[in-house]
């Protein structure tokens, strides 16, 4: 592999990582920022730190899945580039439109599209398991959020909510957001570097990939995450202090559990499910149906279009002899 191609591969990974940070890191801070608990700049710097920690310490399982868990054969250099460019492109468009979409769905769809186009062995059983988890994730976070929120409201109704309780809740929300960021790093590092580990020729040290991938996620969050954070924090359902904690705690537990199982789930799905749990507690009218509709359309369109475009682009490259 030439130096130029190696640089292109690294650039592709950095591009995907930056997209993850720009779109998905907002899910870790949307609730506390929307509730007015913490300034955006402070929140995003905290998220950047914990994303890096989660990626470095526990990002290996999802990396394996995105490496050779979906397409079980080695993918060529051009195939990897195609998957990363197509997967990242849809997330870029959604980020500039301030819509939280699933990076995991975009990358999984693109990797599968490349596998089919290259006549490689695609583990459809694994793909079906991932699809099932995409459905389970928002349902799980919705139920968890509803139970946490309802349970804590009952406790506070009996004990009262003095200044100390309010202060403790504020710190609990911030801690839950940091844990969400850690879980995001653990579950999403594989999106940025997993396809690279599936290449038929490894010229980039894995430790360097981990550093570059985690740093790119953090950078994307810092420089491009504000728009999606506003959507997540304020325009789906309005949050109080207790609601912000319930949302972030449920998201953190859900993302971490799936990350340890090696399943690339969507933080956007998780946080929207959690927000719906709050909305359902207050009544369905509290939920912005228009925003939910936009997000659901994105969930369906993202993996489908990413897969189709990746299939077509890689077929075109193969026709030119770039295998």
Please tell me the predicted confidence (pLDDT) of residue 141: 95
Higher pLDDT, 64 or 322: 64
pLDDT band at 25 (very low <50, low <70, confident <90, very high): confident
Nearby residues of 254 by Cβ (< 8 Å), 6 or more positions away: 137, 140, 141, 144, 183, 265, 270, 274
Please tell me the predicted confidence (pLDDT) of residue 36: 74
pLDDT digits (tens, 9 = 90+) for 83-122: 999 988 877 887 777 666 778 888 999 999 999 999 999 9
Distance between CA 323 and CA 311 in Å, rounded? 13
Please tell me the predicted confidence (pLDDT) of residue 82: 93
pLDDT band at 2 (very low <50, low <70, confident <90, very high): low
Distance between CA 100 and CA 232 in Å, rounded? 7
Higher pLDDT, 104 or 310: 310
Please tell me the predicted confidence (pLDDT) of residue 7: 81
pLDDT band at 319 (very low <50, low <70, confident <90, very high): very high
Please tell me the predicted confidence (pLDDT) of residue 310: 95
Q: Is the pLDDT of residue 298 over 70?
A: no
- Domain segments of the chain as ranges: 3-319
Cβ–Cβ under 8 Å, residues 196 and 80: yes
Instruction: State the average pLDDT over residues 148-152.
Output: 95
pLDDT band at 200 (very low <50, low <70, confident <90, very high): low
Q: Is the pLDDT of residue 285 over 70?
A: no
Q: Which residues of 1-13 are buried (b: 16+ CB within 10 A; e: fewer)?
A: eeeeeeebbbebb
């Amino acid at each position: 592999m030439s130096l130029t191609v190696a640089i292109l591969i690294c650039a592709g990974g950095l591009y995907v990582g930056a997209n993850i940070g720009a779109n998905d890191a907002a899910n870790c801070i949307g609730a506390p920022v929307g509730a007015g608990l913490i300034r955006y700049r402070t929140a995003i710097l905290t998220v950047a730190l914990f994303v890096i920690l989660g990626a470095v310490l526990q990002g290996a399982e999802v990396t394996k899945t995105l490496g050779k868990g979906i397409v079980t054969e080695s993918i060529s250099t051009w195939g990897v580039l195609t998957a990363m460019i197509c997967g990242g492109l849809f997330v870029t468009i959604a980020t500039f439109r301030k819509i939280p979409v699933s990076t995991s769905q975009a990358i999984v769809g693109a990797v599968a599209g490349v596998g089919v186009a290259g006549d490689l062995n695609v583990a459809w059983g694994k793909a079906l398991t991932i699809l099932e988890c995409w459905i389970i994730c928002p349902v799980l976070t919705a139920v968890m959020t509803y139970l946490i929120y309802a349970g804590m409201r009952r406790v506070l109704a009996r004990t009262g909510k003095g200044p100390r309780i309010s202060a403790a809740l504020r710190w609990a929300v911030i801690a839950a957001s940091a844990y969400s960021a850690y879980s995001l790093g653990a579950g999403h590092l594989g999106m940025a570097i997993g396809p690279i580990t599936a290449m038929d020729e490894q010229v980039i040290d894995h430790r360097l990939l981990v550093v570059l991938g985690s740093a790119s996620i953090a950078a994307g969050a810092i420089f491009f995450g504000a728009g999606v954070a506003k959507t997540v924090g304020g325009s789906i359902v309005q949050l109080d202090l207790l609601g912000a904690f319930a949302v972030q705690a449920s998201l953190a537990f859900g993302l971490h559990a799936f990350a340890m199982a090696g399943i690339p789930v969507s933080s956007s799905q998780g946080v929207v499910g959690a927000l719906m749990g709050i909305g359902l507690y207050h009544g369905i009218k509290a939920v912005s149906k228009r925003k939910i509709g936009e997000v659901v359309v994105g969930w369906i369109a993202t993996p489908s279009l990413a897969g189709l475009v990746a299939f077509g682009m890689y077929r075109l490259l193969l026709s030119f002899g770039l295998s």
